[in-house]
A and B are shown apart, each in its own frame.
Chain A
Amino acid sequence: MYGLGLIKGLGITMKNLVIPNRQFNIYQYPNKKVTPWDLAKINSSKTFPFIAKNPITTFKSLVGLVNVEERLPQHPNFRGEEFAWYDNRCTGCASCAKYCPLGIIKIVTGTSGVNSQEGQSYDLEVFDIDIGRCMFCGLCVEACPYDALHMGSGFEEAQYQRSNLVIDINKLKSAEKKPSTWFRPQLVKQGHDPITGDTADWKKVGRHEKPSLDDQSERWAKR
């Protein structure tokens, strides 16, 4: 019958209004509303003592006025900002710079004179990543032969100045290293989670274990 489709349409929109799990964004990005039960869990106390102690907060949270900061859930594979770079792994081969489609990685190396045939032949003087122009394709990470460069997981690095978006070598060295598991199967095997997990040190993240300086000098000495 003509006109029935219109009424059915009204029914469908009402269904979507009523059913809660039809909601588009279950996660309200910067902070989310919490129930008293969640609040008790956050304060690590039991539910009923918490409600008894804080009646006003409980009432507020029941009405929906208490918010807690929350980060969007994301997969450990997420290719984000905050590149994790391990200087003890990096040999300064500049594969990443060569492979970057936009040419935004700048590497300047000098000879260190140490073990020039075993890998650690260069001192890195400059290692700049201009993430203002980066498109996070991940080709640099794919190119790195020693697993020294990893994608990060953040997405909240907005800055007021473009120049602040250039990550230089000191920032990279001192940054908190939570590498993304993107293109790093060894991190997946370890069950590493860049969002909730700990920082990963350079021994955990690599497929190729690089010999230490002592090892190297020993090996050189034995020859």
Chain B
Amino acid sequence: MTQIYFVQLIDFYSFYEMFYSIFQNLGFEKSSSWMSYIAAGGSLSFLAINLLVLATAFYTWFERRTIARFQVRRGPNRNGPFGLGQPFADVIKLIMKEDTIPSEADKPVFTIAPIALLAPTLLIITVIPIDDSSFLATLNIGILFIVGITSVNSIAIFMAGWGSRNKYAILGSMRGAAMLISYEIPMALGITSVLLIAGSLAMSEIVAKQEIWFIAVMPMGFFVFMASATAEMSRTPFDQIEAESELGSGYNTEFSGIKFAILFLAEFMAPIVTSAVVTTLFLGGSQGFNFLPGQFWFVLKMFVVIFALLWIRSTWPRLRVDQIMGFAWKILMELGFVNIFLIAIEVAILMDPVTGILTSQDMLIMAGINWVFTIITLVFLANFLGKRNYDRPDPVPSPLANMEPKGE
């Protein structure tokens, strides 16, 4: 094995064995099994949550610096070397602030909402295989778990808006509920096309099947998934929920102190998690060259995805509510269905009926067909849609205008 394992990332079973041996030595004969289950689970969750929170803190720094660079200014650079202390300063400030609850607010709903928003985001990361040897949980229905757990987001956002009894918050959360539920359908369609080729719901299986990265095999599926994932985490051009220039701050208008910190954390953890999912599903997971461990390649790909998301965020404006819903139902869903249909036909023809294996030649053929089809579709759609918007007559002065120079 040429691969160097200097980063043996956290794994549930190594924890379990460690605790099992400890409890055995301590003299818990029979009960050491379930005790070490609990101990391993607890310590692993503790580690994973803390690592993710720390990663999010640095991600906020990265996002602020990158977007600052796009906006030809400097990001936070006063606090520590390169401003790396800034996230910690922010967190300390938020925790020290007074935690106010509006008197008219629905207190239980208002309090649970931030936790309900953070929990699913944390849960998703458990099923993502960062390398063959390092993941937190091997779920054989990993991708189904992700699709299910992201739906909780819409409820949490609605809770946050409804609970705070604020008109802006309700407007924001109403938009959020409508948007998040609509975009779940194209997202599921994008995932389904991956499953058709991979033939498995387990994340590690999907990674293993990617002899050719799925982004190359089905660009349309990638486009559909990326667009809907951007909407799911409500970033530009789909940031209707927060919509700073319209709703002040949207669903989190009334939150302050530690509750706002948790909402903020969930919001900024979403891009990390999304990029991890995208890397797993479309970019070949931990695959890479052998001279560096798989975790490195995984994180590198995540960075590329995050950078692309930030690039888009700093360039494009926001769409209107009805346009966003129209995009989901009128364009993305149709593209997703067409993509599934095409891939299903290809898989039915190309797959070996006995063994059920797609070879890399088969995938190359599929890639060729799909790329041609995608480009033709997109060009057709672009021209079809563009006619209406680009053609404009030359301005004609109004007959009501009467401008004759009078002189000084």
Contacts and interface: CB of A to CB of B under 8 A. Distances in A.
B378 to A, nearest CB: 8
Contacts of B82: 64
A24 B378 CA distance: 37
Nearest to A19: B72
Contacts of B383: 1-2
A13 B311 contact: yes
Contacts of B71: 24
Contacts of B379: 1
Chain B interface secondary structure, helix, strand, loop or mixed? helix
A13 B70 CA distance: 6
A150 B159 CA distance: 62
Given A1-B386, A9-B316, A64-B82, A25 B311 contact: no
B382 A14 contact: no
A44 to B, nearest CB: 27
B27 interface: no
Interface string A1-36: 111101001101110110000111100100000000
Indicate the size class of the contact surface on chain A. 20 to 34
Most buried by A among B314, B315, B383, B389: B315
A17 B382 contact: no
A213 interface: no
A3 B314 contact: no
Interface string A52-77: 00000000000111000000000000
Interface string B304-342: 000000011011100000000000000000000000000
A2 B72 contact: no
Nearest to A2: B386
B312 A10 contact: yes
B69 interface: yes
B26 interface: no
Given A9-B316, A13-B70, A17-B70, A2 B390 contact: yes
B70 A24 contact: no
Contact of A25 (B69, B73, B316, B390): B73
Contacts of A17: 69-70, 72
A65 B69 CA distance: 18
A173 B320 CA distance: 62
Nearest to A25: B73
Contact of A13 (B74, B315, B381, B390): B315
A63 B390 CA distance: 48
Interface string B56-90: 00000000000001111110010001100000000
A24 B73 contact: yes
A16 B389 CA distance: 28
Given A24-B73, A25-B74, A2 B382 contact: yes
B385 interface: yes
A23 B316 contact: no
B73 A16 contact: no
B315 A2 contact: no
Contacts of B315: 6, 9-10, 12-13
Nearest to B69: A17
Contact of B72 (A6, A24, A65): A24
A10 B311 CA distance: 7
B70 A16 contact: yes
Contacts of A23: 72-74
A3 B386 CA distance: 8
Nearest to A64: B82
Contacts of A65: 81
A3 B383 CA distance: 9
19 contacts: A2-B385, A2-B389, A3-B378, A3-B386, A4-B382, A9-B316, A10-B312, A12-B315, A13-B311, A13-B314, A14-B311, A16-B70, A17-B70, A17-B72, A23-B72, A23-B74, A24-B71, A28-B77, A65-B81
